[in-house]
Amino acid sequence: MVVAVAAMRILHVTNSYLPRLGGIELHVRDLAERQRAAGDDVLVVTAERDPRGTASPGIVRIPTTPGAIGARPHLVGLMRQWRPDVVHAHLSVVSPFAWAALRAAAHDEGAARVATLHSMLPAHPGLVRHGLRRSGIGTDLAFAAVSRVAADRLAAALPPAVSVTVLPNGIDPAMWRVGHVPDPTFRILVVGRLAARKRPLVALDALSRLRGLAPDLRWQATFVGDGPQRRQLEDLIRRRDLADQVRTLGPQPRETIRHHLARTDVLLCPASLESFGIAALEARCAGVPIVAMAGSGVTEFVRHGSEGLLVSGDADLAPTLLYAADPRVADHLRATSTTTPTGLEWSVILERHAALHRAAMTAQGRGVLRCASRYARPSEARPVRRPRAPRSRHPAGAV
């Protein structure tokens, strides 16, 4: 017997969004589109301005100050008008707009609250605990993180009774499945924001050391992405006389990245605070061997010696790149990546989101959050609710 599951009205909240390119921005867009296709009513609200002024259905933009001062009245009005079942906030380390939305939703008895952490928090639970208190979002909501390592950092700062669900990003493997184009040149690709957190300068240091380790190795490296360290990176490329072997392309569309992956021998991921690594997951589906940091979220889908090579420190990056240049090693890693499912296909990830949303809605209806818990709490009296106004399908301000 097939049991019908009622559609949900989901409000995704994110500080940043397209046209800015990044992991959170692309994930929220892809997730919202697939949830709509599955029958849910989905709205995205963001503080990100669109300088193009492009009208996009299903998106509400609320421009605000960097600290989200003055955003609360707009968010409260939107929630009262649209009446979501779930308010799902997507958080980085500092997300004042998303925090404001979670605070606003706390006063709406009709909306469950879910927060997914997309960044790696500092390994200092006391500091994180203080930050959570300052955010004012409380702990009576469903917490999730995009990888086990990110979830463990968050869980360490939460009360013992509060669990953190691992809710990874999704992927369409078929979209990234490309045939490898052999080339006598060993080609290295770095994809990501050129900012300190992603450590592009560490990647360049590794490339400099690779040249010293293997002066006869014919190799080329390409950086795809943009950010505040781009100019410094390009200056260092010139100063280290690497311009013939290293180039920067700036941000590129997905189709162009697919084109590069087909000609790539290894994806270099130097970020030690990578909470997930969507670029690495895309490369993994393309069968490209990955060199990444052992303590990062890339370990959610890369096993050392199977789909990639994981290093414990920066000094190991250059020798590991040289090891990956061995055709026998590369063939093994590529074969394992292309024959082993990731388990992160969108059909799986959508169901994991739906399960967390349903659990949060059930817990909110009982007046107590027990999301992702194996143990039931004794039944409690159902809270008295104020009458709900009719829900609007087209909230004011949606563009």
pLDDT per residue as tens digits for the range 241-256: 999 999 999 999 999 9
pLDDT of residue 392: 58
SS3 state at 163: coil
pLDDT at 2: 37
Express each pLDDT in 210-251 by its tens digit. 999 999 999 999 999 999 999 999 999 999 999 999 999 999
User: How far apart, in whole angstroms, are the C-alpha atoms of residue 85 and residue 115?
Assistant: 14
CA distances from 308 to 25, 168, 305, 320 (A): 26, 19, 6, 10
CA distance 110 to 108: 5
Tell whether the model's pLDDT for residue 384 goes beyond 80: no
Q: Are 54 and 42 in contact (CB under 8 A)?
A: no
More confident residue, 299 or 383: 299
CA 195 to the chain's CA centroid: 16
Look at residue 22 in the predicted model and tell me its pLDDT.
85
- Mean residue pLDDT of the chain comes to 90
- How many angstroms separate the CA atoms of 206 and 124, rounded? 29
Higher pLDDT, 376 or 258: 258
127 falls in which pLDDT band (50, 70, 90)? very high
Higher pLDDT: 321 or 367? It is 321
Q: What pLDDT score was predicted for residue 363?
A: 87
Residue 305 makes CB contacts below 8 A (sequence gap 6+) with 333
pLDDT at 5: 58
387 vs 69, higher pLDDT = 69
> What is the band of 158 on the pLDDT scale with cuts at 50, 70, 90?
very high
Q: What is the mean pLDDT of residues 269-291?
A: 97
Q: What is the pLDDT of residue 32?
A: 98
Residue 390: pLDDT over 60: no
CA gap 203, 200 in Å, rounded: 5
Least confident of 142-146, 184-188, 335-339, 386-390: 386-390
Of 46-50, 275-279, 306-310, 395-399, the poorest mean pLDDT is in: 395-399
* Residue 373 pLDDT: 33
pLDDT value for 51: 83
Read off the pLDDT of each residue in 5-23 and give the average, rounded to a whole number. Answer: 90
Residue 387 has pLDDT above 50, yes or no: no
Cβ atoms of 293 and 272 closer than 8 Å: yes
Which domains can be identified in the chain, with CATH numbers?
A: 9-170+346-366 (3.40.50.2000), 173-339 (3.40.50.2000)
Q: What's the pLDDT score for residue 104?
A: 94
CB 298 within 8 A of CB 292: yes
CB 310 within 8 A of CB 304: yes
Question: How many angstroms separate the CA atoms of 203 and 221, rounded?
Answer: 10
State percent of the chain over pLDDT 70: 89
pLDDT band at 130 (very low <50, low <70, confident <90, very high): very high
pLDDT at 107: 80
- Answer with the residue of higher pLDDT: 293 or 383: 293
